[in-house]
Amino acid sequence: MAVLFVASDQAGAGKTALCASLALSFTNMGKSVTVFKPFASGDSDPDGDSYHKLLGQLVDGWPQQIPASGLSEQAVEDASQLASALSEGKDVTIVEGTNALNQADTASLLKGLNAAVVLVAAYRRDLTASDLTTWKTVLGDTLAGVVINGLTKHLGTEANENLIPTFEAEGINCLGIIPESRKLLAVTTAQIAEHLNGRFINEEPDVDRLIDWFQVGGLSLDPGELRFGLYPDNAVIVRGDRPDVQMSALNVPASCMVLTSGVEPIEYVKYEAEEEGVPMMLVPGDTKTTMNDLNTIQARATFNHARKLSTFVELVDSHVDVDSIICALGV
């Protein structure tokens, strides 16, 4: 069996996104693929749910929580046996690592899995290959290469001129640099409602709709098409007693409407929102408080959404040398 282990230099670097996207890319290349995450830092982990929702793959009882004492030989053996069982009839098994494991335990797990490794590194301007040399020492020849994720917009030339040469000097294969994408940081309307302690007033709101722009209504004299039609996937924040602004946004239509101060809109606005399919929620705070509260909503963003997966698959296919990963796996 061919096993690909995806590790990262820090939590939140993009392991789950890369695992799921490579699974689809490999599938599109005619490979049969399975994905699982053997270990996690807590007793509940959202990544297993992501693979279930996005790829239809669920492994009961996994991931398991890592004991405070670290991985035992039995835990490593159990994970290796599971990987072997899941690999039955598959070309590739993708295993997601966790940053809760120290490098020694990671090396032990890799030995049991006999896996090739791709390391995901979160982009930062001071990143160099020397930051990853410890990983190179631990992983040795199993390291197929590094994928840098989240390259800041407009810094492509700087990365190619200053970052890539440091990897070449250290003998580390840079498999690609994935640019940042606003869509990956979007939140759903359900997450917005939960974050703002709001409640939907539609009968059947689209709670899974992605929102990546927030606009305050009533701060512009421009027509609604120019004000609210400028950005897709937008939520308009407006007082509940401003039907003029609400109707202007609904005529575009906006993707979501957040009505502040707990004031319900007039019935005609509710009707138009239902007709246009625009989720509408009431929140208790005033407009300024609501916007301030939204400053921290990005912490709720997860990868668990089909549109985010399709976005990241496109980025991987465009910016990562997937063929080199396939070659390292020998499939």
Tokens of 303: 């990868």
d(CA 79, CA 90) in angstroms, rounded, equals 17
Verify that 29 and 135 share a domain, yes or no: yes
Verify that 26 and 163 share a domain, yes or no: yes
The domain in which residue 48 lies consists of: 2-184+303-329
pLDDT for res 220: 63
Residue that wins the pLDDT comparison between 190 and 70? 190
As a whole number, the mean pLDDT across the chain is 90
Verify that 224 and 286 share a domain, yes or no: yes
Look at residue 291 and tell me whether its pLDDT is greater than 70: yes
Verify that 238 and 106 share a domain, yes or no: no
pLDDT (average), residues 284-305: 94
Q: What is the pLDDT of residues 244-285, one digit of tens each?
A: 999 999 999 999 999 999 999 999 999 999 999 999 999 999
Verify that 94 and 217 share a domain, yes or no: no
Q: What is the DSSP string of 161-205?
A: IIIHHHHHHHT--EEEEEEP-GGGG-EEHHHHHHHTT-EE-SSS-
pLDDT (average), residues 74-81: 87
Per-residue HEC secondary structure of 262-330 comes to CCCCCHHHHHHHHHHCCCEEECCCCHHHHHHHHHHHHHHCCCCCHHHHHHHHHHHHHHECHHHHHHHHC
pLDDT-above-90 percentage for the chain:
58
pLDDT for res 223: 62
Q: What is the pLDDT of residues 78-117, one digit of tens each?
A: 888 888 888 888 999 999 998 888 778 888 888 888 899 9
pLDDT-above-70 percentage for the chain:
97
Look at residue 39 and tell me whether its pLDDT is greater than 90: no
Look at residue 222 and tell me whether its pLDDT is greater than 80: no
User: Coil, strand, or helix at residue 27?
Assistant: helix
What is the enclosing helix (H) or strand (E) of 74?
Answer: helix 73-86
Residue that wins the pLDDT comparison between 68 and 113? 113
Half-sphere exposure of 75 (CA within 13 A, CB side): 18
Helix 15-28 / helix 322-329 crossing angle, nearest 10 deg: 80
Q: Residue 196's domain is classified under what CATH number? A: 3.40.1390.20
Verify that 211 and 140 share a domain, yes or no: no
Verify that 179 and 193 share a domain, yes or no: no
Provide the pairing of β-strand 39-40 with 64-65: parallel
Verify that 66 and 116 share a domain, yes or no: yes
Look at residue 221 and tell me whether its pLDDT is greater than 70: no
Q: What is the pLDDT of residues 156-189, one digit of tens each?
A: 888 888 888 988 888 899 999 999 999 999 999 9
Beta bridge partners of 199: 282
Tokens of 317: 């296919």
Tokens of 187: 């939140």
Distances in Å between the Cα of 6 and the Cα atoms of 16, 38, 185, 200 are 9, 12, 21, 39
Verify that 264 and 148 share a domain, yes or no: no
Verify that 20 and 167 share a domain, yes or no: yes
pLDDT (average), residues 196-216: 95
pLDDT for res 313: 96
Q: Residue 122's domain is classified under what CATH number? A: 3.40.50.300
Q: Strand order of the sheet with strand 234-239?
A: 199-200, 280-282, 256-260, 234-239, 213-216
Nearest alpha carbon to residue 5 among 85, 86, 118: 118
Residue that wins the pLDDT comparison between 70 and 328? 328
Number of domains the chain is built from = 2
The pTM of this model reads 0.89
d(CA 47, CA 40) in angstroms, rounded, equals 9
Verify that 316 and 203 share a domain, yes or no: no
Verify that 194 and 69 share a domain, yes or no: no
Look at residue 29 and tell me whether its pLDDT is greater than 80: yes
Nearest alpha carbon to residue 119 among 153, 96, 90, 86: 96
